[in-house]
Amino acid sequence: MLLLKQMAILFIIMIIGYICRKIKMITDEGSKVLSAIVVNVANPCLILSAGINKESTVKGAMLAKTALLAVGVFVFLILIALFLPRLIKAKPENRSVYRVMTIFSNIGFMGFPVISAVYGSEALLYASIFLIPYNVLIYTYGIAALHDGDEKDKTNPLKKIFNVGVIACVLTIVFYLTGIKVPMVIENVTTSLSELTAPLSMIVIGAALGKISLKSLFTDFRLLLFSAIKLIIIPILGMFIVSFLNLPPELNGVMLIMLATPVGSMTAMLAQQYGGNTDLASRGVALTTLFSVGTIPLVSWLVTFFIK
């Protein structure tokens, strides 16, 4: 029920963005402005809100183990992303978008509410640790991947890495580990801005879909194949590997949701900001989100039945 509720919220907002595009309330330029706000303001605030004035209740060996596991998960996904675009015979100019879509899932808007409801608040603490490498990578590897092959891009590589997203990640780690307190007004402002991330990103994705044929969502064989691998094969393979680590049940649950959630909306935001195929990224978000209603319960059942 919770998953269906999250899906309904996501799609209603996406439809609003789609309608706004169709009636020309949102233009190409307006869409770029909205995505810039998400990438450079709202999402960094979402990152910061995870560390500001929060007690570090996951400590010691378990904190280190969870952090290493989180890094291991993304190494696993990056390795898969290196060959998956070639496996599905993606066009060379689209491979970078497929790589980014393989690695970065919608763990915030969809994953966190599901984890909290199903596995409890302790599991949510584990999940927050996964956000650190996720956000560092999406603002470094993700941007670098989308710049691949762009001969016009002469930006200093250090400037690509040292951006507002990475700064937010570093500050979050500092706040979380040191327990530094910030004024309540700063915390409230950060929280308020962070709440813009989900609705604005889904509006931008809906607006992007307004420029393409919805029929293309279900007739693109390559994207359909990618969605099946992303939502079913990768989570099952990942959970099979994790099954040998004897992790706490809550952490196992976090791992499952982290791997099984659909393509993250930030992939479409970054594609628009950094020269990737925005249409492909938006269709990838929409299609995998739609399919995840059925695949997340399916993968959960298969993992429980065959692996655990």
Concatenating the DSSP letter of every residue in 69-100 gives HHHHHHHHHHHHHHHHHHHTT--GGGHHHHHH
- Distance in angstroms (rounded) separating the CA atoms of residues 58 and 178: 13
Question: Smallest Cα–Cα separation from 261: which of 81, 116, 105?
Answer: 105
Per residue of the chain (308 residues), what is the pLDDT tens digit?
A: 665 677 678 788 889 999 999 999 999 899 889 988 988 898 888 878 877 877 666 666 777 888 899 999 999 999 999 999 999 999 999 999 999 999 999 887 677 767 766 776 567 677 778 888 888 898 888 888 887 645 445 455 455 556 787 788 788 878 877 888 889 999 999 989 988 888 888 898 888 888 877 787 888 999 999 999 999 999 999 999 988 888 888 788 888 888 999 998 889 888 888 878 888 998 999 899 888 878 888 888 888 776 65
Question: Smallest Cα–Cα separation from 77: which of 217, 253, 255, 220?
Answer: 255
Contacts of the segment 237-240: beta carbons below 8 A, 24+ positions apart = 238/73, 238/76, 239/299, 239/303, 239/307, 240/307
Q: What DSSP element (H or E) covers 26?
A: none
Predicted confidence at residue 149, as pLDDT, reads: 45
Q: What share of the chain is helix, strand, coil (3-state, %, to 5)?
A: 80, 0, 20
- The answer to whether the beta carbons of residues 146 and 98 sit under 8 Å apart is no
| Domains parsed from the chain with CATH numbers | 2-16+37-307 (1.20.1530.20)
The residues that bridge with 263 in the sheet, in sequence order, are: 105
pTM over 0.85: no
Contacts of the segment 294-298: beta carbons below 8 A, 24+ positions apart = 295/231, 295/232, 295/260, 296/3, 296/114, 296/231, 296/257, 296/260, 296/261, 297/3, 298/232
Q: How far is CA 25 from CA 28, 35, 36, 93, 252, in A?
A: 10, 15, 18, 30, 44
Q: How far is CA 57 from CA 117, 125, 178, 258, in A?
A: 19, 8, 12, 21
Q: Is 104 helix (H, G, I), strand (E, B) or coil?
A: coil
- Distance in angstroms (rounded) separating the CA atoms of residues 140 and 158: 10
Question: Smallest Cα–Cα separation from 95: which of 229, 87, 134, 105?
Answer: 87
